[in-house]
Amino acid sequence: MNAPPSPPATQATFAIGDERTASRVVDILTESYPEQDVAIAAFETPGGRWDVTMHFAEPPDHDQIHALVTATAGEAAAQSIVFTTVETKDWVQASLADLVPVSAGRYVVHGSHDRDRIAPNKIGIEIEAALAFGTGHHGTTRGCLLLLDRVLKQRTPRRVLDLGTGTGVLAIAAARTLRRRVLATDIDPRSVVVARENAIFNRAGDLVEAVHATGFHAPQFAARGPFELVLANILANPLRRLAPDMARHLAPGAFVILSGLLPHQAGSVVVAYCGAGLKLIRRIEIDGWSSLLMQKR
């Protein structure tokens, strides 16, 4: 006999303007609801906006959600909430089904459901769908991996930095390719924990040193530099501000891979780094995002 149909679920979606606020809202919402009752995820769009989606097994209290979002993200975000009734299904598996492995040079970023499908001549990096900003399915991460692959075919840098590591994908890729230690830093303590856990899971835990740091303000920078390769997948404004500090922490001839840039922002970032003593080697665009390869003169 067929099982009775599952009751419909409720989906709530809303938009937020920046990553820090999106992360804070997801944390608050996750703490406010039992894990078995709601699935929450946040994803960045090419325009820089973050979309938050919540799936509820039981009808939620709309007023409570409005109050939580207002308190953490403001009235505008709360007013953008849209509630819909959807067919009940396993949302994690549904998202994984759409998240196919992505190749970038020798690297393949994938979820656990594709673990056994990675070719033996590729470097597989496993990151789950809920962390999609740093999985390689985002154009900035793919651009960085392609440029990293290009650099490592020419050079074997000894001192490597992943600045703004996020989920740790770039640090893991560099560490596993070079079999050398990589310093991975982030302004967000939660990202540092995630990067460290991902490095351990991807057999690079002894090679990736994940550290909480703002800009270049941490003792590890002096101890581990000057760097011969820096990866910085952040955003245009902080990248421009960091140009002078970045240059001071580079070895002569060092390569720098920069991303998190919309095409119209790339020119001003190139100017900032050229002014700090670097030159542009290559620029690529993927899915509406620009990635730059630069080198210290």
What pLDDT digit, counting tens, does each position of 58-69 carry?
Answer: 788 888 888 888
pLDDT score for 37:
61
Range from 91-95, 96-100, 141-145 carrying the lowest mean pLDDT: 91-95
Residues 82 and 138 in one domain: no
Nearest to 229 by CA among 186, 272, 177, 191: 177
pLDDT of residue 94: 46
Mark whether 33 and 137 lie in a shared domain.
no
pLDDT (mean) for 191-220 = 93
State whether 146 and 289 are in the same domain: yes
The residue assigned the tokens 């597989």 is 124
| Shared-domain flag, residues 68 and 150 | no
Same domain, 139 and 265: yes
Claim to verify: residue 169 and residue 68 sit in the same structural domain:
no
Domain stops at, among 74, 89, 104: 89
Provide mean pLDDT across the span 207-231.
Answer: 94
Mean pLDDT on 235-262: 94
User: What is the CATH number for 78?
Assistant: 3.30.70.120
Domain total in the chain: 2
Mean pLDDT over 104-129 rounds to 86
| The pLDDT of residue 257 is above 50 | yes
79 and 167 in a common domain: no
pLDDT surpassing 90 at residue 96: no
Q: Quick check: 248 pLDDT over 70?
A: yes
* Confidence label for 125 from pLDDT (cuts 50, 70 and 90): very high
Claim to verify: residue 168 and residue 285 sit in the same structural domain: yes
289 shares a domain with 190: yes
pLDDT surpassing 60 at residue 251: yes
Query: For the residues 242-261, what does the mean pLDDT come to?
Result: 96
**pLDDT of 245 over the 90 cut:** yes
Mean pLDDT to the nearest integer, 69-98 = 70
| pLDDT computed for residue 192 by the predictor | 92
Residue 3 lies in a domain: no
Please indicate, yes or no, if residue 185 is contained in any of the structural domains.
Answer: yes
Sheet holding 82-86, edge to edge: 38-44, 50-56, 9-16, 82-86
Over residues 214-229, the mean pLDDT reads 93
Q: Please identify, among 57, 89, 121, the residue that sits at the C-terminal boundary of a domain.
A: 89
- The whole-number average pLDDT for the span 70-91 is 77
| Residues 73 and 153 placed together within one structural domain of the fold | no
Nearest-angstrom CA–CA distance, 277 and 223: 23
This prediction's pTM: 0.69
Residue 111 included in any domain: no
Rounded mean pLDDT, 38-61: 75
Kindly state whether residues 70 and 142 are assigned to the same domain.
Answer: no
For the chain, give the mean pLDDT.
Answer: 84
For residue 103, tell me if it sits in a domain: no
Q: Which domain holds residue 283?
A: 133-296
pLDDT at residue 3 above 70? no
Q: Residues 192, 102, 290, 288: is their CA dihedral positive or negative?
A: negative
Q: Is residue 76 part of a domain?
A: yes
- Note whether 108 and 102 are within 8 A (CB): yes
Residue 121 lies in a domain: no
Q: Is 105 a domain residue?
A: no
113 pLDDT band, cuts 50/70/90, is confident
Over range 34-47, report the average pLDDT. 65
Query: Is the residue at 128 inside a domain?
Result: no
Rounded mean pLDDT of 174-182? 97
Domain termination site, one of 62, 89, 116: 89
CATH number, domain with residue 234: 3.40.50.150
Between 95 and 205, residue with greater pLDDT:
205
Residues 151, 79 share a domain? no
